[in-house]
Structure 1
Amino acid sequence: MQIIGYALSAFGPNYITWFCFERLFHRKNIDTLTMAFIAGILGAIVTLQTQFAYQVDFNSLVAFVVTFLMSCCYREPWIQRFFVSFVLFVCGVISEGSSWLIGQMIIPVEDMNHVNEAPHFAFVGLLSVVFQILYVIVMMKIIEIFKSRSVKTTTFILFLIVVLTYGIIDLLVTFADTAYLIPALILSALLIVAIAGCIYLFTDQLRVQRERLQLANLEEMLQDQVKHYTALYEANRQVAVQRHDLKNILLNVRSYIQVGEYEKLDKYVAGFQEKVQPSTLIDNGMPFIDAVLSAKMAEHAKIPFENDISMLTLEKIKQPQIAFILAGALDNAIEACEKSAKPFIRVHIGQHGRMISLVVENAADQPVRTAGDRLLTTKADNKAHGYGVKSMMQMAEQLHGMLTWRQEKQVFTLSVLMQDIGA
């Protein structure tokens, strides 16, 4: 019965760890059958170690080393593999502690340090595997939530949470059958409060960063709008001046025709033609969207733009929200076009009932860089260029919509659907 418990406590965590590595890392050129064999060999090593050299601290050391050795089959940097290995090791320790506590309630054991000598040790080992599966699922969900954030901040917060959680379980297991159980419970409650505080501070930091990003975007759109209306005012003023002088211009043209000075007439007309070239200003009656388009087109005049903008009838959605998404999409499109031999950008904004669609197509000679659900900028100053698909996705979700993208035949297409409905 004891060897079965050792095997369950070794092989179960090893294969759970392998599953987690497959989800979080990129495997080297090692086939699945070989990986299964490696996990089995490492499980056998842990089983033999606990059978012939059982000691609680030494068991923990061997378990962590084995976990980290398995991570060497993947391509990620060692520090990232070390951290994930430590998290999985702590999940294993927590699951063992949980199973020991439950086992103590069902099957009283006088000395928890020698639980391996209990007659129902195999049951405790199986229960430990079940707990580890549950804890790993929770851990994967947390990593899924935090993985798109700042790597350093996320690593620090998760590491702190893992250490505090480890401390809680270690306290409860150590003092479970002693007179110090009550103080241990009080200290554990304080540690839980500390964990909650860490999570609160982290989520509050994310909220502040997101609001700063949106504020910076709105400030830029406001500046673009001021430039847009300034240029529009100047263009209208010039048209008014030309309209005022039109009578005199026509008289001069007629005079040149009457005297046959066609060469002078051509120069005279050419001079006015330069003044009345089509403006790049966009005026669709939607100031925020027009300002974004006008600013991007003016800044990147060498990139041909094709705009198909329908007049939107909005009730719940605000123009700045659509302009926020459009600005980020155009930043990414412009970045791709700067490296294209034949750049172009097509913008389509339309409405069908309460559904708003925004589609941006652009030339993309090179495959886009992605990380999960994010598109990565290729510029050195990545903080000053692009707003990130993550922010656009969050805005689309706030508007009860979704954001998708695809790349086919050197054409990148970003599509956003939004619903103009209430909360």
Structure 2
Amino acid sequence: MQLVLLVILVPGNLAENAGYFAETSSLFYQIIRAVILILCICSFFLIRQLYVSGIKAQKQKIELLKLKNLEEQNLIYRQHRHDLYNHMTVISGLAQLGKLGGLKRYLDAYIKNYSESLFNVDTGLKEVDVLLYAKISKAKSLGIDVQYSCQETLLAGAEQVISLVTILANALDNAIEAAARSVGKKLAITIRG
């Protein structure tokens, strides 16, 4: 709309300055100029509002992603707490029964299993770290042997993190499903720049 009005206004002004129109047409161009000015001001505020809305939507997506990651962390914490309680019950029972040989074997197996389950995920992006930790834990709970390495620190802006987490989560879910169905049950996750 603004472009159409400008197409009318510019040649009209040139023609008016050259003396082709009578003075009565000047009021028409004054009205068109005022309309164009008002439309430009309105479009400026509209563009600003759209920009602010886009930023708010992006922040909302990031907050939802953080909430989802916190839920996954909470689920992992509850699973570990439940497992630890069960192990402590067995250890306490063996100690009360005086079965020190059984207690030693159980503790050795528990420590070995616990040491194998510990892993550190540090990609440089907290959201990706939480996602990887949750997916690797899920894969290990399904009996999948997971090899993980991060060869470079990831750098991304807030808007790229959302896309990265979405793509990575889908890819890891598919890889975990495929590894769970495979004979070897192995999964390798390597992050490169």
TM-score (norm 1): 0.31
- Runs of at least 5 residues in structure 2 that lack an aligned partner in the other structure: none
Q: Match of 1:178, SS?
A: helix
One-letter code aligned to 2:169: D
Would the aligned equivalents of 1:307 and 1:346 in 2 still touch at CA under 8 Å?
yes
Structure 2 counterparts to residues 100-249 of structure 1, below 5 A: 100=11, 103-104=14-15, 108=18, 110-111=20-21, 177-241=25-89, 244=92, 245=94, 248=99
The 3 A distance-change label for structure 1 pair 96 and 322 is closer
In the alignment, which residue of structure 2 is the partner of 1:330? 168
One-letter code aligned to 1:330: L
Q: Match of 1:179, SS?
A: helix
Quick one: higher RCO (CA 8 Å, sep 6+), 1 or 2?
A: 2
| Deviation string, structure 1 residues 222-260 (Cα, Å, up to 9, x no partner) | 11111222223334444545555377151699xxxxxxx
Would the aligned equivalents of 2:69 and 2:127 in 1 still touch at CA under 8 Å?
yes
In the alignment, which residue of structure 2 is the partner of 1:292? 131
Q: Using the TM superposition, give the Cα deviation of residue 221 of structure 1 relative to its aligned residue in structure 2, in angstroms.
A: 0.8
- Which whole-Å CA distance do the structure 2 matches of 1:228 and 1:323 have between them? 22
The 3 A distance-change label for structure 1 pair 251 and 324 is same
One-letter code aligned to 1:178: S
The 3 A distance-change label for structure 1 pair 190 and 177 is same
Would the aligned equivalents of 1:225 and 1:291 in 2 still touch at CA under 8 Å?
yes
- Runs of at least 5 residues in structure 1 that lack an aligned partner in the other structure: 1-86, 112-174, 254-268, 349-358, 360-414, 417-423
The 3 A distance-change label for structure 1 pair 224 and 329 is same
Report percent identity of matched pairs: 10
- Which whole-Å CA distance do the structure 2 matches of 1:326 and 1:281 have between them? 26
* Structure with the largest fraction of helix: 2
The 3 A distance-change label for structure 1 pair 249 and 294 is farther
In the alignment, which residue of structure 2 is the partner of 1:256? none
| Deviation string, structure 1 residues 40-92 (Cα, Å, up to 9, x no partner) | xxxxxxxxxxxxxxxxxxxxxxxxxxxxxxxxxxxxxxxxxxxxxxx9xx86x
- Which whole-Å CA distance do the structure 2 matches of 1:211 and 1:305 have between them? 33
- Which whole-Å CA distance do the structure 2 matches of 1:323 and 1:235 have between them? 33
Q: Using the TM superposition, give the Cα deviation of residue 177 of structure 1 relative to its aligned residue in structure 2, in angstroms.
A: 4.1
Would the aligned equivalents of 2:135 and 2:173 in 1 still touch at CA under 8 Å?
no
Equivalent residue pairs, number: 173
Q: Using the TM superposition, give the Cα deviation of residue 217 of structure 1 relative to its aligned residue in structure 2, in angstroms.
A: 0.4
- Which whole-Å CA distance do the structure 2 matches of 1:333 and 1:305 have between them? 15
- Which whole-Å CA distance do the structure 2 matches of 1:345 and 1:209 have between them? 35
